[in-house]
Structures are given as C-alpha cells and as structure tokens.
Chains A and B, each alone.
Chain A
Amino acid sequence: MTGYAYTILIPMIPLVMFLVTGLLGMKWKPIVSGLLGTIGMGTSWVLSLITAGSYFFGGHHAEGFQTIIPFETTWLRFTETLHINIGVLLDPISVMMLVVITTISFMVHLYSLGYMKGEKGFARFYAFLSLFTFSMLGLVIATNIFQMYIFWELVGVSSFLLIGFYYTKPSAVAASKKAFIVTRFADLGFLIGILILSFVTGTFDFGKLTEPGTAIFGSAASMSFMGISALTWAMTLIFIGGAGKSAMFPLHIWLPDAMEGPTPVSALIHAATMVVAGVFLVARMFPVIHFQAPDAQEIIGYVGGFTSLFAAVIAITQYDIKRVLAFSTLSQLGYMMLALGVSGYGGEEGLGYMASMFHLFTHAMFKALLFLGAGSIIHAVHSNYMYDMGGLRKYLPITHITFLIACLTIAGVPPLSGFFSKDEILVAALHHNKLLFAVEFLVAGLTAFYMFRLYFSVFWGKDRHYHHTPHESPLTMSIPLMFLAVASVFAGFLPFHHLVTSDKMGFDTEMHMAVAAPSVLIGLFGIAMAWILYKKESAVPEKLAQRWGILYTATYNKFYFDEIYLFVTKKIIFNYISRPIAWFDRHIIDGFMVGIGLVTEKIAYQIKGMQSGQLQHYAFMFVAGTLALALSLVYFLM
C-alpha cells in the first residue's frame, strides 16, 4: 500500500521542527521558531486530514477497513522472533488519532503564538511542542507494542519538559517531577506487561496479537503465576501503564498538578492527546484483553467508572479553573475507560468500543476548547481562581460564547457532539452493567453541574476589581477557539459507528430514547442547580459547604491523596529505605572493608614487642622455632 507512504512525513515534520528550533532557536528571533513550528504543524495537519479522507472515504469498505502498514523497518533485534520495528500502521483508530492530535496540536501552536508572546524561552516552548507532537504521533501509528512503549516514554518526557516549562518556579519543577515519576511507575507495569506478553506470545507485533482467532495464545492458557493466568497479568499490568498516562485512580494525582504548565500545554497534552494515550492503548489491545483476559477488562471497567465519579465529585469543590477542568478531564477519561470496560467485540456488541473512541474524539475537541478558553480568561485576568473572576462575559465575548458552547457540549445537551458520544457510552453501559450505568448517569448530572458552576461564576456574577480592564485575546488566540467551537458542535454528526469500530466493520445504531432522554434531563437539572446557586452571588454555596463540613473539606483536599503519596515517597522511600541503605553501605560494608585494614595495622603494633632488640630473645625464638619444627616433624613421621 505505498499509496500512504507520505504518512511517514506526518510525524517526521514535527521531529525536524524540534531539531531545528531546538538547536538553532536561540539564535533567531523567537517569532521565527513559532511561525516555523506552526507552519510545519499545519502541514502535517493537512497531511493527516488527507490521510483520513482517503482512508475512510476513499473506496467502499464493505469488508471492513484494512490495516495498512506503509512503512516499517527493524530498529533493534532481540531474537529471531522478537524485534522492535519502527513503522507506520494505519487503521481506523490510528487515523482517527492522527486527525485529533494534529488538529489540536495545530490549534495550540496557533494559539500559543498569541498566548506565549514575549515569554522568554518562546523558541524552547515550540521545540518542546514539536517534540511532543512527534512522540504522540509516533505512539498512535506504532506497529508494535514496543514501538508504542518507546514513544510512550518520549511522550512522558516531553510532558515533563512542558510541565516544567517555567523551570524557575519550584512548584512547576515539583509538578513535572511528580508527573514523570508517577507515570514512570505506571510505565514499569507497562514494561513488565510487555515482557510477559512477549514471553507468552513471542511477538510484539500488533498485527499478530490482535488478529481475530489467532493461535499465538495457544500455549498461554496453561501459564499462570500466583493462580492468575499469565495473560491476565500481562493485560492488567499493561492497563496499569495506560492508567498512569490516562491518570486513572489511584494514579491520577499527577494530572491536577500538571496544570502548572502553560495553559496551551494543558490543552494539548493534559486534555486532548496524551492523557487519552491510555485509552488508546487499551483500545489497541482490545481484542487481546476482551478474549484472553476478561478479568482485566472487568477491572478496566470499574476503575474507569470509579475514577469518573471520584473526579467529578472533587471537581465540584475546586476553585482553580484549570484544576476544575483537569478533574473534569479525569472524569471524562473515566467514561472512555468504562466504555471499553463494558464493550464487547464485533458489531453491536462493540458499541462500547465505538462509543469510547467517539467520546475520545469529541472530548478532545471540546476539552481543548475549554482549556484554550480558560487560557484566554487567565490571559485576561492573570489569575487562575474563580473568586478573582466574575462578569467577564462583556469583556470577553468570543471567549464567552465558545466557552458556553463547550460547557453545553460536555453537559451533553443535544445536538452538540458531547451528547451523542456520551449517550452511546451510557447505552453500552446499560447493556452490560447496570451499576456502572447508574454511576455514569449520576456523573452526567455532576458534570453539567460543576461545568456550569464554573461558567456562571466566571462569566456572570458581579465584576471583581481587575488591575486593568480585561480585554479580548488577539486573533491568533480567538481563531482556534472558534474553530474548535465549530468542531465541538458538529463533530457529533460524524458516522463513527461506520468508521471506528472494534472489528473495523461498520454497523448501524439508533437513538435509544430510553437512555438519551433521562441523561439529557439530568444534565439540564445539573445546569439548573448551577444557575440557582452561582448565577448570582449568594451565600448558599457557603452554607452548603458548612453543612457538609468534613465531607466538603475532604473533597476540597482531593481526599488527601497527594498527602498519602507524599508520605509514601518522602517518608517511606527516602527515610526508611534509602537512608538506612546509604548508612548501611557506608558503615557496615565499607566499615568492614576498612576494618580489615585497621585490624591488620593493630596487630602490627601488637606484635612489635617480638622484635625486642634483645639478642637472647632472638636466640630463644630461634631455638624454640627449631625445636617446634623438629617436634612437629618427628610427630608427623611417627
């Protein structure tokens, strides 16, 4: 299929941009790097749109979409069967991801031209953006799980670099470290999962792994460790990797802090693209998980469900708008995971899978929009906190409208895209697991509530006294907002069930009024609640907060998870493991080695008396020695 050979350019262009701006960026005027990066990004955006167009709509796909590998080369060979390839794999989800990533990334590039203007390290910022985009693209087009792992790591690092962009700010440094280490910990699970999987199946290749009814798992069934089958281990561990990136509970703690990074970064990495890598991974391995490790799939479902509820609850109480958005991201990711967890394989059964991907797509659009909007708000008022904001709608009209659209979308108000995707998920959940359905139903309401809490308290209410009157952001920032707004409005009408499905075969879905109507209603109810509580300044929220007392504070402090982690790392690891080991090494082991020397010297001083200088002592020794030898020898002889 050489027809798609050009797809290799899609990741390559950002890479080149990274190298160029990274090495030469300091020498140029900042704006040059910015424009260069943006143009480059634009090119690969166009390319991926072309790819998507020709892949999805070029020719009919009665027999389903083909998996196309236009480019592949061996990068490192472990054994005859096990080798890491670097290549491009095109199938519905990867193409879909290509579109998502390049779109959002391009928008962010564009947006940052305005947002980051005058920041020192402007060039560095664009270099990192390009690096991230390259890694992310490489991740989604991976032809085998190890290539995915490679780019998985790269993504982690570029996120580390971008979170820590303001590297003189200790909080930023801490956040970046936390993000990297937590995800790294999860990646360990991923790695071990890969090791087990490759040991069992003898291959890294997605093609071989996910091919329906493949025989490579024949031997696997027998293998088990601690009573659990090897594949369940493998899949669970790999899911842990995914959970780390997608910030599933309990590995979610890094995401809120990651908001220390520049807002466009949050939009790109921590809302739209990187955090869905985990979902993508699970989707990628879906056949294996579904057929070989159903237990693992159960886990995925419940973790997703819990995370979405958990995050939604926390989101209600946060005041930092970016954190609210971060927690809403968590909860939406929970949705996607849950959808995968409850999905079946093939046709109608695969509804959850389709829904998950669908929601991934729409969520990317409106969440990016939300973040960019938040960015432009922060840009205007120079604060992250709701209580510094209010009545901004007249100052920031465009931002206001787009933000409103986004809120409605996420609240699942028809006919906006969020409605469709969320609805599909609910349906899928309903069919497989009533409990999870209930949870999601509740969360839908919560989502609507906290989003509009945010919306009202920022754009309505009365003015705060701002240092200078907030002003609408420049065009470079508002264009992306508008584009994404449009996208979030209409994305819902894409026929996903014909494009992105578990078995690559299209199928037909119809409205399930039984599900849609209640979900819309509860969404509206949430909005109404928010209207009542936050439309006007009122003491009601305060009272409520006091009423709930302890529960409120617990929620406000994100159920003290950061503290727990802090305790584990700082106290346990540092004080109770490293410190003793360091001490042990210096004093016991090294002490022993040094001790040998000291003892020798001590003996040397102890025995100096033998050389007394008295001739007759010497003579005595002499004779005594002789006789001793004689006696011993004679004794041995006898």
Chain B
Amino acid sequence: MIQGIPLEHFLIVSTIMFFIGVCGFIIRRNLITMLMAIELILNSVNINFVVFNRYLYPDQLQGHFFSLFIVGIAAAEASVAIALIINIYRKLQNIDVENVNELRF
C-alpha cells in the first residue's frame, strides 16, 4: 500500500511533470515530441485528480472518473493531432515545428 508516501510527494511529482511537459512543448522542435509533452501535462493532471481523491476525499470517486475521461479524450486528441501531423509531413517532408510558420504577422 502507499500509506507511507505523503500527499506532497505526489503533488511535487505531478507539478514537476506538468512543467516538464510545458517546457517540452515550448522547447522541442519535433511535433510528435510536443504531442508527448502534452501527454505529460495531462498525466500530471491525472495524478493530481487521483491523488486528491484518494487522499483528501476518499469517500467519493469524482477524481477517478475525471482522470478516466481525461485519458480517453487525450487519446482522441492525440489521434487527430497525429493525423494532422501526417498531413503536415505530406506538405513539408518533415515535422519540424519551426517550418510551420507560413501564417504570421
């Protein structure tokens, strides 16, 4: 059981994940990697929900359900995103985000 681990640790982990995700999204040039960064963010959110639910409000399931839905929707999002990335690849023959700047100013 996880009794030994205090809430804060989970939160720290999730926060770190969140910011790793954010930084990844901002820094990594590869579209796929950016997508993965977003997954990191979503997962940090999941951790939050689950942990809060488990630790603070053990007598209900809202957090758990929420995280499930997040997972599901994340999948949908990822699929669409990847489809579009492929589309981009068809145009540019690469998936470097820096080349996706035809529309600007």
Residues on B with beta carbons closer than 8 Å to the beta carbon of A616:
25-27, 29, 34, 97
From A133-141, A210-218, A353-361, A607-615, give the one contacting chain B.
A607-615
List CB contacts (< 8 Å) of A430-470 with chain B.
none
**Nearest chain-A residue to B97 (Cβ)?**
A615
Residues on B with beta carbons closer than 8 Å to the beta carbon of A76:
none
> In the assembled complex, how far is the CB of residue B24 from the closest CB belonging to chain A, in whole angstroms?
10
Question: B12 within 8 Å of A by Cβ?
Answer: no
**Nearest chain-B residue to A621 (Cβ)?**
B26
> In the assembled complex, how far is the CB of residue A607 from the closest CB belonging to chain B, in whole angstroms?
10
**Nearest chain-B residue to A618 (Cβ)?**
B26
Question: B20 within 8 Å of A by Cβ?
Answer: no
Residues on A with beta carbons closer than 8 Å to the beta carbon of B26:
616, 619-620, 623
**Nearest chain-A residue to B27 (Cβ)?**
A616
Contact of A613 with B97 at beta-carbon distance under 8 Å, contacts A619-B26, A620-B26, A623-B26 already known: no
Residues on B with beta carbons closer than 8 Å to the beta carbon of A614:
97-98, 101, 104
Could you give, for residues 73-105 of chain B, a 1 whenever the CB lies within 8 Å of some chain A CB and a 0 otherwise?
A: 000000000000000000000000110111111
Residues on B with beta carbons closer than 8 Å to the beta carbon of A608:
105
Interface pair B104/A613, CB less than 8 Å apart? yes
> In the assembled complex, how far is the CB of residue B85 from the closest CB belonging to chain A, in whole angstroms?
12
Residues on B with beta carbons closer than 8 Å to the beta carbon of A612:
101, 104-105
Interface pair B98/A623, CB less than 8 Å apart? no
- CA of A608 to CA of B104 in the docked complex: distance in angstroms? 9
**Nearest chain-A residue to B25 (Cβ)?**
A619
- Residues of A in contact (CB 8 Å), total 10
Residues on A with beta carbons closer than 8 Å to the beta carbon of B105:
608, 611-613
- CA of A607 to CA of B97 in the docked complex: distance in angstroms? 22
Interface pair B22/A613, CB less than 8 Å apart? no
Contacts across chains A and B counted by CB atoms under 8 Å: 31
- For chain B, the bracket of interface size reads 10 to 19
Interface pair A613/B25, CB less than 8 Å apart? no
- CA of A579 to CA of B26 in the docked complex: distance in angstroms? 61
Residues on A with beta carbons closer than 8 Å to the beta carbon of B22:
619, 623
Interface pair B25/A611, CB less than 8 Å apart? no
Residues on A with beta carbons closer than 8 Å to the beta carbon of B100:
613, 615
- CA of A611 to CA of B26 in the docked complex: distance in angstroms? 16
Residues on B with beta carbons closer than 8 Å to the beta carbon of A615:
34, 97, 100
Residues on A with beta carbons closer than 8 Å to the beta carbon of B98:
614
List CB contacts (< 8 Å) of A581-638 with chain B.
608, 611-616, 619-620, 623
> In the assembled complex, how far is the CB of residue A364 from the closest CB belonging to chain B, in whole angstroms?
86
- CA of A349 to CA of B103 in the docked complex: distance in angstroms? 101
- CA of A608 to CA of B100 in the docked complex: distance in angstroms? 18
> In the assembled complex, how far is the CB of residue B94 from the closest CB belonging to chain A, in whole angstroms?
15
- CA of A611 to CA of B101 in the docked complex: distance in angstroms? 10
List CB contacts (< 8 Å) of B45-90 with chain A.
none
**Nearest chain-A residue to B98 (Cβ)?**
A614
- CA of A611 to CA of B104 in the docked complex: distance in angstroms? 6
- CA of A561 to CA of B22 in the docked complex: distance in angstroms? 88
> In the assembled complex, how far is the CB of residue B101 from the closest CB belonging to chain A, in whole angstroms?
4
**Nearest chain-B residue to A610 (Cβ)?**
B105
- CA of A616 to CA of B101 in the docked complex: distance in angstroms? 11
> In the assembled complex, how far is the CB of residue B22 from the closest CB belonging to chain A, in whole angstroms?
6
- CA of A614 to CA of B27 in the docked complex: distance in angstroms? 12
List CB contacts (< 8 Å) of B1-44 with chain A.
22, 25-27, 29, 34
**Nearest chain-B residue to A613 (Cβ)?**
B104
> In the assembled complex, how far is the CB of residue B27 from the closest CB belonging to chain A, in whole angstroms?
7
> In the assembled complex, how far is the CB of residue B11 from the closest CB belonging to chain A, in whole angstroms?
16
**Nearest chain-B residue to A623 (Cβ)?**
B22
> In the assembled complex, how far is the CB of residue A614 from the closest CB belonging to chain B, in whole angstroms?
6
Residues on B with beta carbons closer than 8 Å to the beta carbon of A611:
104-105
> In the assembled complex, how far is the CB of residue B45 from the closest CB belonging to chain A, in whole angstroms?
15
- CA of A619 to CA of B103 in the docked complex: distance in angstroms? 16
Residues on A with beta carbons closer than 8 Å to the beta carbon of B103:
613
- CA of A442 to CA of B105 in the docked complex: distance in angstroms? 92
**Nearest chain-B residue to A624 (Cβ)?**
B26
- CA of A615 to CA of B29 in the docked complex: distance in angstroms? 10
**Nearest chain-B residue to A627 (Cβ)?**
B22
> In the assembled complex, how far is the CB of residue A220 from the closest CB belonging to chain B, in whole angstroms?
76
List CB contacts (< 8 Å) of A60-91 with chain B.
none
Which of B26, B27, B34 has the most chain A CB atoms inside 10 A of its CB? Answer: B26
Could you give, for residues 305-326 of chain A, a 1 whenever the CB lies within 8 Å of some chain B CB and a 0 otherwise?
A: 0000000000000000000000
**Nearest chain-B residue to A609 (Cβ)?**
B105
> In the assembled complex, how far is the CB of residue A506 from the closest CB belonging to chain B, in whole angstroms?
99
> In the assembled complex, how far is the CB of residue B39 from the closest CB belonging to chain A, in whole angstroms?
15
Residues on A with beta carbons closer than 8 Å to the beta carbon of B27:
616
> In the assembled complex, how far is the CB of residue B59 from the closest CB belonging to chain A, in whole angstroms?
30
Which of A611, A614, A616, A620 has the most chain B CB atoms inside 10 A of its CB? Answer: A616
> In the assembled complex, how far is the CB of residue A296 from the closest CB belonging to chain B, in whole angstroms?
77
- CA of A608 to CA of B97 in the docked complex: distance in angstroms? 20
- CA of A297 to CA of B47 in the docked complex: distance in angstroms? 105
- CA of A620 to CA of B26 in the docked complex: distance in angstroms? 6
> In the assembled complex, how far is the CB of residue A624 from the closest CB belonging to chain B, in whole angstroms?
10
> In the assembled complex, how far is the CB of residue A535 from the closest CB belonging to chain B, in whole angstroms?
99
> In the assembled complex, how far is the CB of residue B2 from the closest CB belonging to chain A, in whole angstroms?
30
- CA of A619 to CA of B100 in the docked complex: distance in angstroms? 14
- CA of A130 to CA of B29 in the docked complex: distance in angstroms? 97
**Nearest chain-B residue to A626 (Cβ)?**
B22
> In the assembled complex, how far is the CB of residue A347 from the closest CB belonging to chain B, in whole angstroms?
98
> In the assembled complex, how far is the CB of residue A601 from the closest CB belonging to chain B, in whole angstroms?
15
- CA of A256 to CA of B22 in the docked complex: distance in angstroms? 94
- CA of A615 to CA of B103 in the docked complex: distance in angstroms? 10
Residues on B with beta carbons closer than 8 Å to the beta carbon of A613:
100-105
List CB contacts (< 8 Å) of A333-352 with chain B.
none
- CA of A345 to CA of B54 in the docked complex: distance in angstroms? 117
Which of A611, A614, A615 has the most chain B CB atoms inside 10 A of its CB? Answer: A615
30 example contacts (A-B, Cβ-Cβ < 8 A) are as follows A608-B105, A611-B104, A611-B105, A612-B101, A612-B104, A612-B105, A613-B100, A613-B101, A613-B102, A613-B103, A613-B104, A613-B105, A614-B97, A614-B98, A614-B101, A614-B104, A615-B34, A615-B97, A615-B100, A616-B25, A616-B26, A616-B27, A616-B29, A616-B34, A619-B22, A619-B25, A619-B26, A620-B26, A623-B22, A623-B26
10 new A-B contacts, CB < 8 A, other than A612-B104, A614-B101, are A608-B105, A611-B104, A612-B101, A613-B102, A613-B103, A613-B105, A614-B98, A615-B97, A616-B27, A623-B22
Interface residues of B (CB under 8 A from A): 22, 25-27, 29, 34, 97-98, 100-105
Q: Closest 10 interchain pairs by CB?
A: A613-B104, A613-B101, A608-B105, A620-B26, A619-B26, A616-B26, A611-B105, A615-B97, A619-B25, A623-B22
